[in-house]
Structure 1
Amino acid sequence: MKYLIMTILMLSVFSCNQSETTKNQSIFDMDKVKKGDVIIEVNGLQIRQGFIDLLSELNPRLKTQLNNPLTRKKILDSLVDQELLYQAAVSKNLHTEEDVLVKALLNRHVIISNALVESELDSAMKLAYEEKKTEQFTKMKVGIIAALFNPEAKSQQDKQQPTDEQKTAAQAKIKAIKARLDKGDDFAQVAKEDSDDKKTKKKGGDAGEISKNDRRFARLGYKDLTIAAFNLKNGEYSAPIELKTGMFIIKALSDTSTVSFEEAQRPLRFELQNKTKEDLIEQLRSTAKIKFLGKPVDATGKKETKPKATTTTTNSKTSKKTFVPNKTKKPNINFTLPKKTDSNKN
Structure 2
Amino acid sequence: MRSRPLTRLLTAVLCAVGMLGVAGLSACSSSDASAGGKITIGFSAWPGWNVWQVAQEQNLFAKNNVEVELKWFDVYTDSLNALATGAVDANSQTLNDTLMSVSGGAKQTVVLVNDNSTGNDKIIAREGIAGVGDLRGKKVAVEEGTVDHYLLLLALAEAKMTAKDIELVPMPTDAAVAAFAAGRVDAVGAFAPFTTKALERPGSRAIATSAEFPGAIPDHLVFKADVVRDRPQLVQGIVNTWFDTLAWIKENRDPAVDIMAKRNAVTTDEYKAYDSGTTIFTRQQNVDAFTPGTTPQHLNHQARLASDFLLSTGLAKNPPNLDGLFNDTFIKAVPQ
Give me the TM-score of the superposition, normalised by structure 1.
0.20
Identify the structure with bigger relative contact order (alpha carbons < 8 Å, sequence gap 6+). Answer: 2
More helix by share: 1
Point out the structure with the larger strand share.
Answer: 2
Q: Max radius of gyration: which structure?
A: 1
TM-score of the pair, normalised by structure 2? 0.21
